[in-house]
Amino acid sequence: MTSPFIPSSYPDLSPISGVTLAAANCGIRYKDRPDLLVAQFCDGTTVAGVFTTSLTASAPVEACRQSLKSGKAGALVVNSGNSNAFTGKHGVASVLRITEAAATSFGRKPTEIFTASTGVIGEKLPDEKITSALGTLSFSDNAWSDAARAIMTTDTYPKMATRSATIGGKIVTINGIAKGSGMIAPDMATMLAFVFTDAAIAHPQLQSMLAAANEKTFNCISVDGDTSTSDTLLLFATGKAGNAAGDCNDFQRALTELLHELALHVVRDGEGAEKFVTITVTGAEHARAARTIGMSIANSPLVKTALAASDANWGRIVMAVGKAGQKADRDALAIKIGGVSVARNGEADPAYKESMIAAHMQGREIHIEVDVGIGSGSATIYTCDLTHRYIDINGSYRT
């Protein structure tokens, strides 16, 4: 069953000079669909990365963290179907064999090869299927749709976005693909996102721009509150646009927009999602407090099940604000749903009647606004409801 939010059409991604792509089926878990993505980059490509904060991070994540120190990238190798997480010394050896084989195939150093794996945790990765496929791939500059499909697990549609920006008078292009249908859903869901640009941007600046954009986008979504062992976001910059180093504000804007678009796709394709929910928190002590409160609302099973039932049970929003552990003035708390004030000054709004938001609650897109009455910190969080389908998907995933 596909997401009710499946797009009617997909964006057309142009080639990025300096990037070639190949997608193939190497038979790790899936049949009849690609499960291996390889991207090759031209000499001089810089790279930035953001990874899971999990203390049980996968072997590929640990290897990427090491390789990122040089700031240089030669190729990216991604498989779906097996996450190579919690696989001990076997997992580390698998990553080593893949990076060495790819380095030999593509004439690069092993530290310039980045890998990511997504799928079941705790099973040994059959890395020989990947290494023996490396020599058989045919690369092109326009295989974006196949690339987006190759990294899918429980995703019901491929996720792609594209933007352009201007740096020092030159137009640069940014393409991105992502997977994940729980921002987090170990086993399968890891969130992976790979972004490619022809801009010339040195590693340290690329890293700080990616971290800033990630903070406002992927770090503001949640499907189920679970954190993957494999979450990986990588940005590759080939430099082929030939721009001089310059003001990168427009690139930062475009990058943030692109990650925002990909992040919202991950929520819209959230496991079992029937509603897309936007939660805006204002009046918090600071932005981080606002994000914590928003996440507390987004991850509350009681809020999520009420949303699934189209029930305007705003008392549960009050509960979730209260348990977030951040400063909130109960007697100044105000809540709007679908733009209608349901509570203010710490009690139900006298003018509010449930009929005023009944149609909104029945809809696909729900807007919740919460002001906690303390300061000027704000954040917007995106999530989905908790439905029977989530239970079915996650109860039956391995069988």
Residues 72-111 that bind a second copy (CB under 8 A): 83, 85-91
The kind and range of the H/E element at 368 are strand 365-371
Residue 119 near residue 130 (C-beta atoms within 8 A): no
Residue 35 near residue 29 (C-beta atoms within 8 A): yes
Residue 327 found at the interface with a second copy (CB under 8 A): yes
Cα dihedral sign, 244-247-250-255: positive
Q: How far apart are CA 385 and CA 107, in angstroms?
A: 47
Q: How far apart are CA 123 and CA 52, in angstroms?
A: 20
Residue 63 or 321: the one with the smaller Cβ distance to a second copy is: 321
Residue 199 near residue 237 (C-beta atoms within 8 A): yes
Pick from 229, 243, 256, 383: which binds a second copy (CB under 8 A)?
229
Active site residue 111: no
* Stretch near a second copy under the rule CB under 8 A, chosen from 213-221, 259-267, 276-284, 382-390: 382-390
Burial (CB count <10 Å: 0-12, 13-18, 19+), residue 43: exposed
Pick from 104, 345, 362, 376: which binds a second copy (CB under 8 A)?
345
123 DSSP assignment:
S
Of 99, 190, 227, 282, the catalytic one is 190
Residue 398 found at the interface with a second copy (CB under 8 A): yes
Pick from 2, 9, 31, 55: which binds a second copy (CB under 8 A)?
55
Subset of residues 154 to 213 that bind a second copy, contact rule: CB under 8 A: 182-187
Subset of residues 348 to 367 that bind a second copy, contact rule: CB under 8 A: 348
CB of 227 to a second copy, least distance (A): 4
Residue 257 or 349: the one with the smaller Cβ distance to a second copy is: 349
Q: How far apart are CA 198 and CA 167, in angstroms?
A: 11
What lies within 8 Å, CB to CB, of 399 at 6+ separation is none
Subset of residues 258 to 317 that bind a second copy, contact rule: CB under 8 A: 299-302, 305-306, 308-309, 311, 313-316
Subset of residues 116 to 145 that bind a second copy, contact rule: CB under 8 A: 120-124
* Stretch near a second copy under the rule CB under 8 A, chosen from 32-40, 144-152, 363-371, 387-395: 387-395
Residue 32 found at the interface with a second copy (CB under 8 A): no
The 3-state DSSP class for residue 340 equals strand
Residue 232 found at the interface with a second copy (CB under 8 A): no
Q: What are the residue numbers of the active site?
A: 190
